Homo-oligomer: A and B are copies of this chain.
Amino acid sequence: LGEEQGRRRSRLPTDERREQLLALGLRVFVERTYDEISIDEIAREAGISKGLLYHYFPSKRAFYIAALREALRQLIQETRPPEGAQPNLEDMRRGIDAYLGYVERHARAYVFLMKGGLGLDPEVQEIIEEAREEHLGRLLTSLGDPSEPRLRIGMRGFLGFVEAASLDWLERGGVDRAAMCDLIMEGFLGLVAPWVAPPSP
């Protein structure tokens, strides 16, 4: 009330501030890659001091990791099938379309990450791996016995298919999102065909 903008901003409750900073992180790491942005710029864009930023995130790496974690949480959320629904192709198609929409909106960040950005960082690997495990778990439980090695390997392969195809699509284009969605669905059906409908003898 009547306070000067800068001071009001610096008095936000901790959680709200953290959320705001993460939203900013999602934006800046999509527009520029990790190496292209400094902690000073982040603080400036957030309208807070570097000291306050460090209070929330002790380093640029920590800030990036928190933003990545938030980004993948959103991705998992947006691609989630409806609660309690039996696995079906329509929900799967919706999930794939949501995935493609998400990676399209975050194209630079996705390409950076998939091409090994911060590749040696075990925490980054772990976060990406967790997201893959979540998607893998959904696929496996919708298809059958999750402990069956061929199914596990095949679905891991399918995730690799989606990632590699998406990366090529983002970098070189040539088809629209609907056609990409068809391509991935066809790929899925082709890949899982041996499991859902065993070849006749």
Contacts and interface: CB of A to CB of B under 8 A. Distances in A.
Interface of A: 115-120, 124-125, 149-150, 152-154, 156-165, 167-169, 172-175, 179-180, 183-184, 186-187, 189-194
A9 to B, nearest CB: 35
A117 B120 contact: yes
Main secondary structure of the interface of A (DSSP, over half): helix
B180 A153 contact: yes
Interface centre among A117, A156, A194 (most CB of B within 10 A): A156
Copies assembled: 2
A190 B67 CA distance: 37
Contacts of A183: 150, 153-154, 157, 194
Nearest to A169: B153
A131 B155 CA distance: 24
Contacts of A125: 115-116
B187 A168 contact: no
Contacts of A154: 165, 183, 187
Report which residue of A119, A167, A184 has the largest number of chain B beta carbons within 10 angstroms of its beta carbon: A119
Contact of A194 (B119, B152, B162, B186): B186
A179 to B, nearest CB: 7
A183 B169 CA distance: 25
Given A116-B119, A190-B193, 13 more contacts: A117-B119, A117-B120, A149-B175, A150-B179, A153-B183, A154-B165, A156-B167, A157-B161, A157-B164, A157-B165, A157-B184, A158-B164, A160-B165
Given A116-B120, A116-B125, A119-B117, A174 B190 contact: no
A189 B190 contact: yes
Contact of A191 (B124, B153, B191): B191
